[in-house]
Amino acid sequence: MGDIKDYKIATLGSHTALQILKGAKDEGFETICICKKGRSKPYESYKVADEIIEVDDFSEYFELEKKLMDQNAVIIPHGSFVSYLGFENIGKIKAMHYGTKGIIEWESDRDMERHWLLDAGLKLPKIFEKPEDIDCTVIVKFHGADGGQGYFLANSPEEFYERMKDADSDRKYVLQEYIVGVPIYSHFFYSRLTGELEVMGFDKRYESNADSIGRVAAKDQVDVGIQTSYTVTGNIPIVLRESLLPQVFEMGENVVKASQKLSKGGLFGPFCLEGILDPNLNFYTFEISARIVAGTNPYVNGSPYTWLRYNEPMSTGRRIARDIKEAIEQDKLKTVLG
C-alpha cells in the first residue's frame, strides 16, 4: 500500500490555490506553492503552504519542474495555471499532473467545446455565422476579452453594425444568442476511482460593472454612456431549487461520458458548467471549465451539498486531495494522473 508521506501536492499561487493547498493539508499531504515574487503573503498568512517557491514569472515553471519531480509532487492545475503556462504547453508537463491533459484542448477551442457539449445533449445558445443572420437578441463576445470587456448586445444586423462602429473592427468575435435568465455555475467532481459523479455546489459571479448597473437609473446609464463589462471580482454561493438537481446530475454525467470519446482517459476530477437558467427552467450552457473553478472558493469549509454527502468539511480542493490519497493507498496513482 502506497503512503501519502512519499508525495507532495503543489500548485501555482493564484485562483484556487488556498483551497487546494488547505484541502491537501487536511488530507495529510505536505504542500508546495509556487508564487510570483511579492505575491506570497496570502499563502504565508493562511498557513497552507509547507514550502513556497518564489519565481519572477510563472513561465519559469519548466525550470523548476525537476525540483518538483524530485519531491514526488503532484501538480494540481487550475484556471490561472492553464492561462499562465499556455494550453499549448500543458502537454509538456513531465511532473505528475492531476487530470487529463488532452481534455484542456477541447475546453480551449470554442468550436471543439461546442461539439463536446452538443454531443452530451446539452442546450446551448444559438451561434450566428454572420451579422445578417441575427434574428433575436445576441451577445457579441470578443475573443480574448479580458473579463468580457466591450461585449455588447444587438437585436438586429443594423444595430450590430451601428454598435460595431465604436468597437475595434479587427477583433474576432462570436455572435451568441443572448439568454435572458439567471447565471448558474454548476460545480462537479467525477472520480475515476469510484466511477461516480458528485455535484459539489453552485455559484454565480460578481461582475463589475454588470452587477451594479441596476443601481444607476436607465436615463443616467444612457446619458453617461455606460458600457457593460463583466470583470469578475468574486463569487457568490447559490443553493439551487431542489427539483432541478436530477437534471444537473444528468448533465454532468453526460458531459463525462461524451468526454471519453474525445480524449483518452476522458474528463475527471473537478469541472464546471457555466450557463443561464431561463424562466422556463431551461439550462443553457455557454461554457465548460475542465478543472477547478474559482466559484468553489466560497466553500473552503464545504458546501451544503458536500455536507449532505460527507458529514465533514469537503471543499473541491480537499476532494481532489482525497482522490489522490485514495489512489496512492490503493496503488492506483496512475488512475488520477494524465
**Which residues of this chain interact with ligand AMP, rule CB under 6 A?**
125, 139, 141, 148, 176-179, 183, 205, 207, 230, 276, 286-287
What is the Cα–Cα distance from 305 to 312, expressed in whole angstroms? 11
Judged by beta carbon, residue 159 or residue 287, the one nearer ligand AMP is 287
Is the CB of 7 or the CB of 230 nearer to ligand AMP? Answer: 230
CB-wise, 130 or 219, nearer to ligand AMP? Answer: 130
> CB 289 → ligand AMP: shortest distance, Å?
10
211/253 with CB nearer ligand AMP: 211
- Which string of DSSP letters, residue by residue, matches 165-214? TTS-TTS-EEEEEPPPSEEEEEEEEEETTTTEEEEEEEEEEEEEEGGGGG
Report the residue number, 209 or 335, with the smaller CB distance to ligand AMP.
209
Residue 178 or residue 268: which is nearer to ligand AMP going by CB?
Answer: 178
In angstroms, the CA 279 to CA 283 distance is 10
Q: How far is the CB of 198 from ligand AMP (least distance, A)?
A: 24
Cβ nearer to ligand AMP, comparing 183 with 295:
183
Residue 166 buriedness (CB in 10 A; 0-12 / 13-18 / 19+): exposed
> Residue 205 Cβ, how far from ligand AMP at the closest point, in Å?
6
**Rounded least distance, CB 163 to ligand AMP, Å:** 16
* 3-class secondary-structure state, position 73: strand
Q: Which is it for strands 73-75 and 96-97: parallel, antiparallel or unpaired?
A: parallel
Q: Compute the least distance from the CB of residue 236 to ligand AMP, in Å.
A: 12
* Run of H or E residues at 218: helix 218-224
- In the complex, minimum distance from the CB of residue 125 to ligand AMP, in angstroms, rounded to a whole number: 4
Confirm if 299 and 316 have CB atoms less than 8 A apart: yes
CA dihedral 168, 233, 303, 338 (to 10 degrees): 50
Whether a cis peptide bond, with omega within 30° of 0, leads into 282 is no
Q: Which is nearer to ligand AMP, 205 or 291 (CB)?
A: 205
Residue matched to cell numbers 439550462: 283
Q: C-beta of 215: minimal distance to ligand AMP in Å? A: 17
Q: How far apart are CA 291 and CA 103, in angstroms?
A: 10
Question: Which of 33, 23, 146 lies closest to 83 in space, CA to CA?
Answer: 146
CA angle 287–334–259, rounded 5-degree value? 25
Q: How far is the CB of 162 from ligand AMP (least distance, A)?
A: 21
